Structure 1
Amino acid sequence: MFVVPDDLQGRRADDVLQHWFVGVRRPALRRLLRGGLVELNGQPLMPWRKVRADDVLVLDASVDVDSLPCQDKRAKIEAPSVLYEDASCLALAKPAELPTVPGRQGEASVHDYLVEWFGARDLRVVHRLDRGTSGVLLFAKGREAAQALDVIFRERRIDKIYLALVRGLPRHDEFSVDVPIGRSVRGGRVSLRVGKGARDAVTDFRVVHRWRGFALLEARPRSGRQHQIRAHLMSAGLPLAVDPLYRGAAGVFLSEFKADYRHRRGDSERPLIDRLTLHAAQVSFASPDPAVTARVKVDAPLPKDLRVTLAKLGRFATHDAQENETASP
């Protein structure tokens, strides 16, 4: 049995089955549907039929799931750490290599792996982290919890803290960026503008540490717009150290800041980190679980790639804040 989650609302049946049976070839799933082997609310489901959230799909008992032909495109990814759990929600340490939910290309996502990791539990997406962003990711347990958490997010009764490794040196230890964010434009980047379609967006920043040419910032978004932190950092002249979409680089390399770096002949230098240098470090909120009376605070430790990068910066890129460097507000 598979309960259609909110984020698959309006999708075709053959799309939805690919989220149920991750890795199984699409033609095989269509054959199941055309053969009447999958039912929707007690009726045979056709491949082109669009489903709704909370629809119940049932696979005929005669189907041997293990014999379905698979496409070996999905890597085995170990279950992430459970950072917090109560009767209403589950908080995971999201791996950087996975998006929260599948994109248009149907790539593997955290959502796809939930059944594999945690069994047939009704875990629902309540917010998202970009592919490349690591850290705290919350899931609701069931419909009522999802609705309650959705209200908490919409009413901004949840506090989120991110750590961002950026290029450039902030002039001030604390600053805010108040720039409206518009709809996504061509290329996947949001627009920063005032006018039709733009929505208010404010992010508060605090400097945690400065190195030569790099800084670690704490970011506290007051709103939850798409790509908000990334776009606001770009507008402040402090792009994420790795973020090609918003004027960051494709990677952080040791040769950028280690003065006596020597390149091995015949080998290309590998980056210390080549994904978004953004980490969802903490969320705090009042849990919908009536048994939890204190405010919940969930912390996600830094993953290895960021820890190593910060350690290398600390060793080889020490920076006197009074040196002549280009500074941003």
Structure 2
Amino acid sequence: MQENAELLAFLLQSVKGEGRNAIKAMLSRGQIAVDGKTQKVFNFALKPGQTVTVSKERIVEAPPLIGLSILFEDDDLIVVVKEAGLLSIASDQESELTAYRQLNAHVRLTDPSNRIFVVHRLDRDTSGVMMFAKSERVQQELQNTWQNTVKERTYIALVEGQVKKQEGTISSYLKESKTLKMYSTSNPTDAQHAVTHYKVLQSNRNYSLLEVSLETGRKNQIRVHMEDIGHPIVGDKKYGSKSRAIPRLGLHARLLAFLHPSTGKLVRFETDIPKLFLNPFKDGFIPK
């Protein structure tokens, strides 16, 4: 361009066959660049010698992720933090927003043939770190070698009552009832062995905050085992909780460390303890 001008005025003069509203829309959609840099400000001051580029292609912006944030992404994996309340994956018949559905849309922005594959799940009301594979090969490899590949899998659990034993291990066989509730049994027939280790981080008369590590990853394992020792997870009505000290389930997948399927290197993803979980240990706390 030859002289000083505001971007919108320059475009109205230079772009033939497009009205004022159409050009404004192109600006807001990121179709205008100044010296190769996208510019959306209508009154951006142009200087002589600058190059203005108009793209007829509409820029596709990634939809915002809801209840989800990406910690890490490469050609093989996506590691995310899921908020409590978001479903990991739904059945084909359900149209509910899920982590799986949102991440599928995310990877298809770069290539419509891309998709993601479920490696493991978190319950809807459990928050924390989880990962998805970007190919069936990586998914199968991770699932088939899960016990050896995953080096650390640590949860934070807010439970009812004061856990007297500072450290402990709970071991049982888990089965599922006809009402889809998991329960512990000493009979290994048609059941899955489950081992949970815990350590008390903080406690008072009414609540305990535990660090829980899984030796096995069974459905609802921590929830069942906490009920088994008489300290159900806060907010977990299904597994014996009577308390609503916080407005959600008191379970958070804090840490996931594993050997990367392609590089073989140990990767580690850790999140903070949810602030809500610390409320019962503050002076003046009144449980709901």
TM exceeds 0.5? Answer: yes
How far off is 1:122 after superposition?
A: 1.9
Contact 1:241 1:277 in 2 (8 A): yes
Other structure's SS at 1:170 match? coil
* Number of the residue aligned with 1:126: 119
1:118-197 → structure 2 map (5 Å cutoff): 118=107, 119=109, 120=112, 121-155=114-148, 157-182=150-175, 184-195=176-187, 196-197=189-190
Partner of residue 249, structure 2: 276
**Aligned pairs, how many?**
217
1:33 aligns with: none
**Deviation string for 1:6-30 (max 9, x for gaps)?**
xxxxxxxxxxxxxxxxxxxxxxxxx
Structure 1 residue 89 corresponds to structure 2 residue 60:
no
Instruction: Report the residue type matching 2:267 in the other structure.
Output: V
Alignment partners' CA distance in 2, 1:84 and 1:104: 27
Residue identity in the other structure for 2:250: T
Percent of aligned positions that are identical: 28
SS in 1 for 2:104: helix
Report how far residue 288 of structure 1 moved.
Answer: 0.8
The residue type equivalent to 2:207 in the other structure is F
Measure how far apart 1:155 and its partner are: 4.4
Q: CA deviation at 1:114?
A: 1.7
Quote the offset at 1:156 in angstroms: 6.2
1:81 to partner: Cα distance: 1.9
**Residue 243 to residue 103, structure 1, CA distance change in 2 (3 Å):** farther
Structure 2: any 5+ residue segments left out of the alignment? 1-63
Residues 312 and 190 of structure 1, relative CA distance in 2, 3 Å threshold? closer
CA RMSD of aligned residues (A): 2.3
The alignment status of 1:300 with 2:271, answered yes or no, reads: yes
CA offset digits 1:27-76 (Å, max 9, x no partner): xxxxxxxxxxxxxxxxxxxxxxxxxxxxxxxxxxxxxxxxxxxxxxxxx8
Q: What is the deviation of 1:228?
A: 0.5
CA distance in 2, matches of 1:105, 1:192: 31
Runs of at least 5 residues in structure 1 that lack an aligned partner in the other structure: 1-75, 253-271, 319-329
Distance 1:104 1:123 in 2: 15
CA deviation profile, 1:226-267 (whole Å, cap 9, x unmatched): 110000000000100110110013622xxxxxxxxxxxxxxx
Change (3 A) 1:104 1:229: farther
CA deviations 1:91-146 (Å, max 9, x no partner) are 00012111211158724321122233443432111000001000001001112211
Comparing 155-164 and 89-98, the one that deviates more: 155-164
Q: Structure 1's 122 and 104: CA in aligned 2 closer, same or farther, altered over 3 A?
A: closer
**3-state SS, counterpart of residue 97 of structure 2:** coil
Cα deviation digits, residues 284-327 of structure 1 (max 9, x gap): 1100122xx5311111234xxx4134135323359xxxxxxxxx
- C-alpha spacing 1:296/1:218, structure 2 compared with 1 (3 Å): same
Deviation at 1:209, TM superposition (A): 0.6
Indicate conservation of the 8 Å contact 1:152/1:158, yes or no.
Answer: no
Specify the alignment match of 1:258 in structure 2: none
Q: Does the CA contact (< 8 Å) of 2:161 and 2:207 recur in 1?
A: yes
Judged with a 3 Å threshold, the aligned counterparts in structure 2 of structure 1 residues 96 and 103 are, in CA distance, closer, same or farther, namely farther
Counterpart for residue 286 of structure 1: 259
Q: Is residue 239 of structure 1 aligned with residue 232 of structure 2?
A: yes
**TM value normalised by structure 2:** 0.69
Shift of 1:79: 6.2
